[in-house]
Amino acid sequence: MEPNPNRKPKSAPVRKPRPAPAAKTSPSISAAAAGGERIQKLLARAGLGSRREIERWITDGKLLVNGNPVQLGYHLKPGDHLQINGRIVKWEKYAEQPTRVLVYHKPVGELVTRRDPEGRPVIFTQLPRLQVGRWIAVGRLDINTSGLILVTNNGELANRLMHPSREVEREYAVRILGEVDDAMLERLKQGVELDDGPAHFEDVSFYAGEGANKWFYATVKQGRNRLVRRLWESQGVKVSRLIRVRYGDVTLPERVRAHSFYELEAKELAALMEFVGL
């Protein structure tokens, strides 16, 4: 029996965003410039980097506006000339860019990368072209894992969904080859030691199946490499199929087949933005 990805999601924690660090005091453009949008917010939304990365660039003096170093919180205004590491950035095209989020169904065999030197298929060739900015994948799935990938043009949204401090839940349907008993499930929930430290499932439960192959649902709050597979393998069983069915409160709709996507509607997008504190 195949798992049903269109299940009602469990609640996931909502964390308030941390305040930005204080800016260094140095001869520069005033952060109190009237009007416009804060530079780190606009550039992060454009996908040029996370807000923290852009804040580091600012404190390191890598961003110039009209030839002068800029402070954290500076509001870009029409006519401002922006340079990042000496490269001119036409920031105006990002100013009115609406946030978009796609729910993409990645099949086995596709890579979550922009290009592959071996010529293997990548998810970004399956997505619609953006006139402004670029698509950013929220986390990764390895080549042998299928299921839900969130893709957005808002870099700050992507960063908040992925940041370890927010502990956003990821839920997977897992087909296991081998014997699984209640003691094993309890160990996986209590925690086991892996090569890169302790790990556990937030929740794991039997779904369906008989004989050697059985389906389970398993939930984690970390994005560590191959974490779900490694947790099961630590118990001497093999993962024969792995499908991500939920990220945070966003589930993979049953109607969205492999290689296809669904774009969040306004109400769904508003709920997701509220979930991460934007």
Say how far apart CA 83 and CA 68 lie, in whole Å: 10
Instruction: Out of 60, 80, 116, 142, pick the active-site residue.
Output: 142
Active site residue 181: no
Q: Which residues are catalytic?
A: 142
